[in-house]
Chains A and B, each alone.
Chain A
Amino acid sequence: MSPQTVIETEALSKVYGQQRALDGVTLHVSRGAIGLLGPNGAGKTTLMKCLLQLQPITTGSARLLGREVGREGREIRKRVGYGPEENCHIPGMAGCEYVTYCAQLSGLPFQAARQRAHEMLDFVGMGQERYRKIETYSTGLKQRAKLAQAIVHDPEIVFLDEPTNGLDPKGQAQILELVQSLWKTYGITVVLSSHLLQDVERVCEQIIIIARGRVLVHDTLENLKARKRGAAEVVVAGRHHELQEACQRRQWPCELLSNGHLKVEHNADSLNPLLNVLRELKLAPLEIIPSPNALEEAFVQALEISHAAA
């Protein structure tokens, strides 16, 4: 395991009764902002919980920050932060008491814990509300408190499970900006779990797409965006057959879709060969829709797998 590798899993599986939540997940993830993307029920939260030892692993193995998961729980969690999806708080405490207490549980002495709690509450943009009981918080404040408690002990890696759930667009933007800064500015590895492609695209450099407990894709955002299947949908007013024949002569598979678009697999990095054909035919297209990049395709595939299973 290289020093840059933070998460390493080998054939990791988690089974709940008859349901297989994780199915042979093998990953080698290096430091950075990592997006864990997938539809609801894909296994993102289970993967996080297994890595944090909140759930026992059924089969396989996992290492987090170079330590064996399941053996060195306290030591691992001292260096890890977690912001759960569900509302988890310790009732009866004000926000600042709660974050201070969480810092103490992570091993900070009281004075340092109190000071850092206030710093982190400032960091997440919480004002005087910190002195109110946490049960009285709005969803946005609860999300901020969750983020503050996850980073209060200065972890090396922080797992955030759907941190923008229930927030308005402004709140979402603020939280994502904070999350982004954790890696870009402060060097804290972030694992952001979300079912929203745009959230992950905005913040993360590495993407892991999960569906039905299996990893579909694990690559950098840059690679995934650059990787396109040489295909496009062409919208023409008529003369579909002429275009189809011209494509077949060049051995490009093409298909007339139910919406009248012609899907052409031209197998090239750019649309130029397709445009040349249209020029030869003197055919003016109404629209040319390039194929989605690999990230979008994989995400759509994950959604389809999930829907098919449902």
Chain B
Amino acid sequence: MPLHDMHYQHWEGVHVGIWARRWVIAKNGLAACLQNKVLRNVVVLCWGAGLGMVAALFIVSQLLVPDSMVVKWVEHLNPALQTFAQFLTSWLHDHPEISVRATQNVFFFYCCTLLTPAGIFALGVAMPLLITRDLAGGAIVIYSSKAVTRGDYLLGKFCTAFGLLGLTCLGPLCAAWFVGNLLAPDWRFFWHARAALGNILIYGLSSMCILSALALGVSAISSKEKTTPFLWFMWWVLGGFIQPIAANTKPWLRHLSFGYNLDQIRLATFRLGNDVKAAQDNIPILGNMLNGIPRKTMQTLNNPTLWGAVAALLLMLAGAAWVIRRRVRPE
């Protein structure tokens, strides 16, 4: 007599494809991340910042509507700000193809600067959920014994990190761009602001790929849940400290910071120097203000150390790949 009721039925359904299985890994990882309260709060904050961006874009675009509340509010400002707002209004009105592009490019550059650290922070919190816990629980053996390869597993985990960055950085930025321009008084804003969207996507996607791969590498360093977030945050914070110190002594040391390297990529992508020049040429009052920008800052805006940053990031990615190759295997 059996010790308990046994019932086994063979399954005769159709298997799903490999991309569906990879998606399962990514989705499961992302769901685990969103079960974490801190990460949920970070995501909410980022989308809150996205709402703030929409509001700011709405206010700028309302300068073109003669009877709008924004225009009336501008009339109550002090004379200097009023003059600036009027110049901006006339610039927006007369040269929307340049003004919308330049305004939104500068605006989204700073939004990227704001949201990238949020993404890096989120990755640090999510670090144990990427590979660390799987190493601790021996889950790599389970994954490897199923119909997925190590590559599929890593791709799934990469998509988890990528998805998390999408929720904290790229998602709010793209949504803000879309809704901000949707609320603009003229449909042509979408067309004029296309360069800003392109820059958001180029910088956003490249930085997300880089950060996701680096995060996987750090997450695979140890199977201890406290070690990997510590390493990630230490790298980030120390990099931030090194930057100003190394700037005057050994500038190449700044490339040890992935944050600095991403800054250079952002500068190279958004090319703010062109926008500053456009503003100087078209709004005299703004031109006078921008003339006060130190020459060194302008040099940084115009000539970021892109290739140094790319080379440093490639080396970091190679290091991450080496760690993953050594650590993520079913032994």
In the bound assembly, the distance between CA atoms of A114 and B7 in angstroms comes to: 16
* Interface segment out of the listed B137-145, B188-196, B267-275, B319-327: B137-145
In the bound assembly, the distance between CA atoms of A54 and B140 in angstroms comes to: 10
The chain B residues found within 8 Å of chain A, CB to CB, are 2-11, 13, 15-18, 20-21, 24-25, 28, 32, 35, 129, 133-134, 136-139, 141-149, 152, 330-331
Q: Are B147 and A105 within 8 A (Cβ)?
A: yes
Please give, as numbers and ranges, the residues of chain A lying within 8 Å of B21 by CB-CB distance.
104-105, 107
Query: CB of A269 within 8 A of chain B?
Result: no
Task: Give A123's nearest chain B residue, CB to CB.
Answer: B8
Task: Give A80's nearest chain B residue, CB to CB.
Answer: B145
Q: Are B146 and A125 within 8 A (Cβ)?
A: no
| Complex interface residues of chain A between 92 and 134 (CB less than 8 A to chain B) | 92, 101-102, 104-109, 112, 116, 119-120, 122-123, 125
A185 CB to closest chain B CB, in angstroms? 7
A-B contact sample (20 more), CB < 8 A, given A74-B147, A102-B146, A106-B146: A54-B331, A82-B145, A87-B137, A87-B138, A88-B142, A89-B138, A89-B139, A89-B142, A92-B35, A92-B129, A104-B16, A107-B20, A112-B11, A116-B11, A120-B8, A125-B3, A153-B147, A173-B3, A174-B3, A181-B2
- Of A49, A101, A102, the residue contacting B330 (CB under 8 A) is A49
- Of A52, A75, A101, the residue contacting B24 (CB under 8 A) is A101
In the bound assembly, the distance between CA atoms of A109 and B12 in angstroms comes to: 12
| Complex interface residues of chain A between 173 and 191 (CB less than 8 A to chain B) | 173-174, 177-178, 181-182, 185-186
Q: Are A90 and B134 within 8 A (Cβ)?
A: yes
Of B5, B8, B129, the most chain A CB neighbours within 10 A belong to B8
In the bound assembly, the distance between CA atoms of A153 and B147 in angstroms comes to: 10
In the bound assembly, the distance between CA atoms of A108 and B12 in angstroms comes to: 10
Query: CB of A91 within 8 A of chain B?
Result: yes
Please give, as numbers and ranges, the residues of chain A lying within 8 Å of B15 by CB-CB distance.
78, 106-108
Q: Are B133 and A92 within 8 A (Cβ)?
A: yes
Top-8 shortest CB links A-B? A107-B15, A88-B138, A105-B146, A82-B145, A154-B11, A78-B147, A125-B4, A54-B330
Please give, as numbers and ranges, the residues of chain A lying within 8 Å of B148 by CB-CB distance.
74, 105
Task: Give A186's nearest chain B residue, CB to CB.
Answer: B8
Please give, as numbers and ranges, the residues of chain B lying within 8 Å of A185 by CB-CB distance.
6, 8
In the bound assembly, the distance between CA atoms of A9 and B26 in angstroms comes to: 36
Q: Are A105 and B24 within 8 A (Cβ)?
A: yes
In the bound assembly, the distance between CA atoms of A74 and B20 in angstroms comes to: 14
B235 CB to closest chain A CB, in angstroms? 24
Q: Are A54 and B147 within 8 A (Cβ)?
A: no
B3 CB to closest chain A CB, in angstroms? 5
B331 CB to closest chain A CB, in angstroms? 7
Instruction: Write 5 A-B pairs (CB below 8 A) sorted by A numbering.
Output: A102-B146, A104-B16, A107-B21, A123-B6, A153-B11
Q: Are B139 and A108 within 8 A (Cβ)?
A: no
Query: CB of A77 within 8 A of chain B?
Result: yes
Please give, as numbers and ranges, the residues of chain A lying within 8 Å of B8 by CB-CB distance.
119-120, 123, 151, 181-182, 185-186
Please give, as numbers and ranges, the residues of chain A lying within 8 Å of B146 by CB-CB distance.
77, 102, 105-106
- Of B3, B6, B20, B141, the residue contacting A54 (CB under 8 A) is B141
In the bound assembly, the distance between CA atoms of A123 and B142 in angstroms comes to: 20
Please give, as numbers and ranges, the residues of chain B lying within 8 Å of A109 by CB-CB distance.
13, 16, 20
Query: CB of A245 within 8 A of chain B?
Result: no
Query: CB of A35 within 8 A of chain B?
Result: no
Q: Given contacts A78-B15, A107-B16, A125-B3, are A91 and B137 in contact (CB under 8 A)?
A: yes
- Of B32, B144, B147, B331, the residue contacting A106 (CB under 8 A) is B147
Query: CB of A86 within 8 A of chain B?
Result: yes
Q: Are B137 and A90 within 8 A (Cβ)?
A: yes
Please give, as numbers and ranges, the residues of chain A lying within 8 Å of B330 by CB-CB distance.
49, 54-55
Task: Give B132's nearest chain A residue, CB to CB.
Answer: A91
Please give, as numbers and ranges, the residues of chain B lying within 8 Å of A105 by CB-CB distance.
21, 24-25, 142-143, 146-148
Please give, as numbers and ranges, the residues of chain B lying within 8 Å of A186 by CB-CB distance.
8, 10
Query: CB of A149 within 8 A of chain B?
Result: yes
Q: Given contacts A52-B145, A74-B149, A101-B28, are A178 and B139 in contact (CB under 8 A)?
A: no
- Of B6, B133, B144, the residue contacting A178 (CB under 8 A) is B6
Please give, as numbers and ranges, the residues of chain B lying within 8 Å of A81 by CB-CB distance.
145
Please give, as numbers and ranges, the residues of chain B lying within 8 Å of A120 by CB-CB distance.
8
Please give, as numbers and ranges, the residues of chain A lying within 8 Å of B4 by CB-CB distance.
125, 174
Q: Are B139 and A90 within 8 A (Cβ)?
A: yes
Task: Give B147's nearest chain A residue, CB to CB.
Answer: A78
B134 CB to closest chain A CB, in angstroms? 7
Task: Give A146's nearest chain B residue, CB to CB.
Answer: B142
Please give, as numbers and ranges, the residues of chain B lying within 8 Å of A213 by CB-CB distance.
none
Task: Give B136's nearest chain A residue, CB to CB.
Answer: A91
B66 CB to closest chain A CB, in angstroms? 55
| Complex interface residues of chain A between 29 and 85 (CB less than 8 A to chain B) | 49, 52-55, 73-75, 77-78, 80-82, 84
Q: Are B10 and A154 within 8 A (Cβ)?
A: yes
Please give, as numbers and ranges, the residues of chain B lying within 8 Å of A151 by CB-CB distance.
8
Q: Are B3 and A177 within 8 A (Cβ)?
A: yes
B222 CB to closest chain A CB, in angstroms? 15
Q: Given contacts A107-B15, A107-B16, are A88 and B149 in contact (CB under 8 A)?
A: no
In the bound assembly, the distance between CA atoms of A55 and B330 in angstroms comes to: 8
A201 CB to closest chain B CB, in angstroms? 19
Task: Give A49's nearest chain B residue, CB to CB.
Answer: B330
B209 CB to closest chain A CB, in angstroms? 25
